[in-house]
Amino acid sequence: MSEPARPGARPARRDTAADPASQGARPDAARMVLGIETSCDDTSVAVLGEGTRLLAHRIAAQDVHRLYGGVVPELASRAHLELLPGLIAEAIAAAGIAPADLTAIAVTRAPGLVGSLVVGVAFAKAYGLALGIPVVGVNHIEAHLHAATLEHGPAPFPALALVVSGGHTELVEVRAVGEYRWLGSTRDDAAGEAFDKVAKLLGLGFPGGPAIESRAAAGRADAYDFPRPMLDSPDLDFSFSGLKTAVALALAPLGEPPFDERRAADVAASFQAAVLDCLTAKTLRALDATGARALTLGGGVACNRALRERLAAGCAARGVTLRVPSPRLCADNAAMIAQLGAWQLARGAIADPELDVTASLEESGLGV
């Protein structure tokens, strides 16, 4: 049952988990959950026992997109379809169970590439029907907010979550599971998207984040005075598209890549410093504003060691616990989907016969 909307421009939201008193609820459905994640270009499946024990986890990164320097939606959908059956069989075998031991399926239903989401949801529905078990839809961003719990245990609330990936830059106050206040997000490009675009300008390939990070380690962060967009704005939003343009303008007189190695390292280091200044400043400001007891990171950009170090220092100075998932659980993965699905089932969620996909975060029922 949903709560009445709260007053204010950015109200707290609740997830769509059904009330435990719902007719037909099967509390034991959370016992052995198969998670399926296909929202972008990673095909991932997981088997989670008792909501906490990760018995098997497979992530297949789709290499085909490297050829094109970015994710090609049609190719992603096709690859999900080809990869899912084998990955699921593999995960079930690795978990040491039989398909009949599964008690439910949790699948990403939003947000993401619509064709990719459709493949995962259609597959989950068909498999759930064949096994006679419920299928619940999970919000991908909500799952990122809680991914750290798989390794760190339950978060102290209120917590702050920073989700930074190729598609999202979200700063969220987590008051409880299912109770969120959106504090900020990007007005244009996501942080990971900026890393990918700048890597392309430097001729470093896709995905760009790890390549920029390794070049940045050998460069001077003060070599270029790139802008820190929205750093001084009173809100907690971000903007990275102008920063990418500033890098393009700095590189324009130099012609086409490959560039001199030292030059590329200096650009990478100066760009990374600008992104991290923005992410760190607003995240620490949000910690101070909310009095959060923990900071949780999620999304591929959270693999960036310099970002982790800067946030670790800020958290230590404030006595705040930093909860960073290991790289596998930062990036897109089915373990976090299975976990959130298991929580929804334990709270009484039942199979949704109308389960459908939604591409945007706003229309998914979360976000600003």
What's the CA gap between 274 and 57, in Å, rounded? 35
Are 272 and 216 in contact by the 8 Å Cβ rule? The answer is yes
Residue 165 or 364: the one with the smaller Cβ distance to Zn ion is 165
Q: CB 40 → ligand KG4: shortest distance, Å?
A: 5
**Partner interacting with residue 15 (select from ligand KG4, Zn ion, none; CB below 5-8 Å by kind):** none
Q: Does 195 bind ligand KG4 (CB under 6 A)?
A: yes
Site string for ligand KG4, 299-338 (x = CB under 6 A): xxx-xx--------------------------xx------
**Partner interacting with residue 35 (select from Zn ion, ligand KG4, none; CB below 5-8 Å by kind):** none
Residue 15 or 332: the one with the smaller Cβ distance to Zn ion is 332
Q: Does 40 bind ligand KG4 (CB under 6 A)?
A: yes
Question: CA-based Rg of the chain, rounded to a whole angstrom?
Answer: 21
Which tokens sit at 5? 């909307």
Dihedral of CA 201/206/209/214: which sign? Answer: negative
Closest by CA position to 190, among listed 140, 240, 253: 240
Are 40 and 180 in contact by the 8 Å Cβ rule? The answer is no
Site string for ligand KG4, 60-99 (x = CB under 6 A): ----------------------------------------
**The one among 43, 44, 103, 165 contacting ligand KG4 by CB under 6 A:** 165
**Partner interacting with residue 213 (select from ligand KG4, Zn ion, none; CB below 5-8 Å by kind):** ligand KG4
Count of alpha carbons within 13 Å of 96, Cβ hemisphere only? 4
Residue 19 or 362: the one with the smaller Cβ distance to Zn ion is 362
Q: Does 166 bind ligand KG4 (CB under 6 A)?
A: yes
Residue 49 or 207: the one with the smaller Cβ distance to ligand KG4 is 207
Q: CB 240 → ligand KG4: shortest distance, Å?
A: 11
Residue 158 or 210: the one with the smaller Cβ distance to ligand KG4 is 210
What's the CA gap between 130 and 95, in Å, rounded? 20
Are 186 and 361 in contact by the 8 Å Cβ rule? The answer is no
Q: Which of residues 318-337 bind Zn ion (CB under 5 A)?
A: 332
Are 365 and 139 in contact by the 8 Å Cβ rule? The answer is yes
Phi-psi label, residue 329: left if phi above 0, alpha if psi -120 to 50, beta otherwise: alpha
Q: Which of residues 204-243 bind Zn ion (CB under 5 A)?
A: none
**Partner interacting with residue 300 (select from ligand KG4, Zn ion, none; CB below 5-8 Å by kind):** ligand KG4
**Partner interacting with residue 238 (select from ligand KG4, Zn ion, none; CB below 5-8 Å by kind):** none
| Buried residues in 108-140 as b, exposed as e (16+ CB within 10 A) | bbbbbbebbbbbbbebbbebbeebebbbbbbbb
Give the DSSP per-residue string, 120-153: HHHHHHHHHHHHT--EEEEEHHHHHHHTTHHHH-
Residue 146 or 347: the one with the smaller Cβ distance to Zn ion is 146
Q: Does 15 bind Zn ion (CB under 5 A)?
A: no
Q: Does 266 bind Zn ion (CB under 5 A)?
A: no
Q: Does 165 bind Zn ion (CB under 5 A)?
A: yes
Are 206 and 65 in contact by the 8 Å Cβ rule? The answer is yes
Give strand pairing partners of 238: 186
Q: CB 279 → Zn ion: shortest distance, Å?
A: 16
**Partner interacting with residue 336 (select from ligand KG4, Zn ion, none; CB below 5-8 Å by kind):** none
What is the number of helices (H) and of strands (E) in the chain? 11, 10
Residue 171 or 351: the one with the smaller Cβ distance to ligand KG4 is 171
* Interface residues toward Zn ion, by CB under 5 A: 165, 332
